[in-house]
């Protein structure tokens, strides 16, 4: 058993490390627009891991959701929020940090 399963073990280990690294990177990317891209890579890594773990169904839905839908939603939200904050503050990762901004 140990001899035949090593290749699969190595593949699973590599995918696990890839997922752990991209997850950490996604958390420490503080700018949400950049984070969306890293989350897309995390989705891709998870899809790879699920494929290696013999779960093609989950990999397929993770591929669609993790690399397309979630990053797209985050990017759209970032754009909406930055546009709304244009009046009061310059756009940036912390757009809308004005204390004087009274509720509309």
Q: Which of residues 15-44 bind other proteins (CB under 8 A)?
A: 16-17, 19-20, 23-24, 26-28, 30-33, 35-37, 39-40, 42
The number of residues that bind other proteins (CB under 8 A) is 72
CA distance 11 to 72: 29
Query: Residue 99, exposed/middle/buried by CB under 10 A (0-12, 13-18, 19+)?
Result: exposed
Query: Smallest distance, Å, CB 84 to other proteins?
Result: 6
Considering only residues 85 through 104, tell me which ones interact with other proteins, judged by CB under 8 A. Answer: 85-88, 93-99, 101, 103-104
Does 14 participate in binding other proteins (rule CB under 8 A)? no
Does 76 participate in binding other proteins (rule CB under 8 A)? yes
DSSP 58-81: HHHHHHHIIIIIHHHHHHHHHHHH
């Amino acid at each position: 058993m140990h001899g035949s399963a090593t290749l699969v073990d190595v593949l699973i280990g590599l995918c696990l490390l890839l997922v752990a690294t991209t997850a950490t990177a996604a958390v420490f990317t503080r700018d949400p627009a950049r984070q969306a891209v890293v989350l897309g890579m995390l989705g891709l890594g998870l899809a790879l891991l699920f494929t290696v773990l013999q779960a093609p169904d989950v990999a397929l839905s993770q591929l669609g959701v993790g690399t397309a839908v979630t990053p797209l939603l985050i990017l759209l939200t970032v754009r909406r929020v930055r546009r709304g904050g244009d009046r009061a503050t310059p756009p940036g990762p912390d757009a809308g940090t004005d204390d004087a901004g009274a509720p509309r």
